[in-house]
Amino acid sequence: MEKLEAELGSLRARAETLNSRHSAAEAAHDDAKAKLQRHHLDADLDADDKARVKLETAVAACAVTRDGYANALVEVQAKITDAEQKLAAERATAERKAASEKLARDLDAIEQALPDYLAAGKRFADTLEELHFHHESGAMARFIGNCATQVEVAAGFALVELRGMVDAIHDGVAPIPAAKPVSASVSAPEPSPTRTVFMLKSSHYRDHDGRKRFAGQWEDATMPVTTAQRALRMGVAVLVTDPKRARLRGTRGGDFNPNASDVVNLDKIDEDISSSGIADVPRVGNFQVIDRGAARTGTISVTRL
């Protein structure tokens, strides 16, 4: 292959040189032909025969040079194609040889390891059979014995078939085995930052995936950091180190109504409403003012004691 690669490199270099010179010869021919044409159009046709003959000779010489380079370039290209085919064939032969030798080495290793595997399995099964009074141990012994028998029979057929593939791959009758696929490792996405707080009010909020969540009063809740900070600022929650957590956690016993009117929506709460804490939070709990009409006045009789 090294000889063919060197020959191919030399042919490609010659083809590049011939192509460059052919382009120059073609340009010279076009220029000589244009000069002859101008002579036919402008010169005295009866008095300038010598000039005409000289121009015609130049055109003919340029044509010979151009055609010579063109013919040589065609032959070199044919040689390049032939050399590329020979090189590809040599590479394929080398690849088949390497693949067949690798398969032969793998089969040798299998044939060497198989007796050790069968002997080890038999020793293990014999040891387990000593525990015949134990159901699981007996089942394992039978399983190992069955597996060893099946492997021994299957290996007998497989090894004969694979040995035949060694020569088939070397001779080009069988394809080269495909390379073992490499599993690409997928990096797990980094978890979004969260924070756990102790809820003083039942609340709704959305997690990092946009799903609506419910956090019950007097329970711990893990939520996005920004949402947790908002709950802390509004007094809807306190830190898990707050003494209230030790005293109140779980006292509601899971008795929650997520649709209750006093449940705070942490995603829509107006932080400007309160800066003093939980006392002002009910003001954003979706309370509605009921119009009971104009104020009424009257008197009632009361018994004096």
Query: Are 229 and 275 in the same domain?
Result: yes
* pLDDT score recorded for residue 18: 92
| Alpha carbons 87 and 2: distance in angstroms, whole number | 9
> Between the CA atoms of 132, 136, 137 and 140, what dihedral angle is there, to the nearest 10 degrees?
120
Instruction: Determine the distance from the C-alpha atom of residue 140 to the mean position of all C-alpha atoms in its chain, rounded to a whole number.
Output: 41
Query: Are 204 and 228 in the same domain?
Result: yes
Q: Which residues of the chain fall below pLDDT 70?
A: 47, 184-189, 269-305
Tell me if residue 220 falls in helix, strand or coil: strand
pLDDT tens per residue, range 84-127: 998 998 888 899 999 999 999 999 999 999 999 889 988 888 88
pLDDT tens per residue, range 130-156: 887 888 888 888 898 889 889 989 988
Range of the domain at 277: 194-284
| Alpha carbons 107 and 149: distance in angstroms, whole number | 19
Task: Please tell me whether the overall predicted TM-score, pTM, comes out greater than 0.85 for this model.
Answer: no
Query: Are 223 and 256 in the same domain?
Result: yes
Query: Are 68 and 128 in the same domain?
Result: no
Residue 305 forms part of a structural domain: no
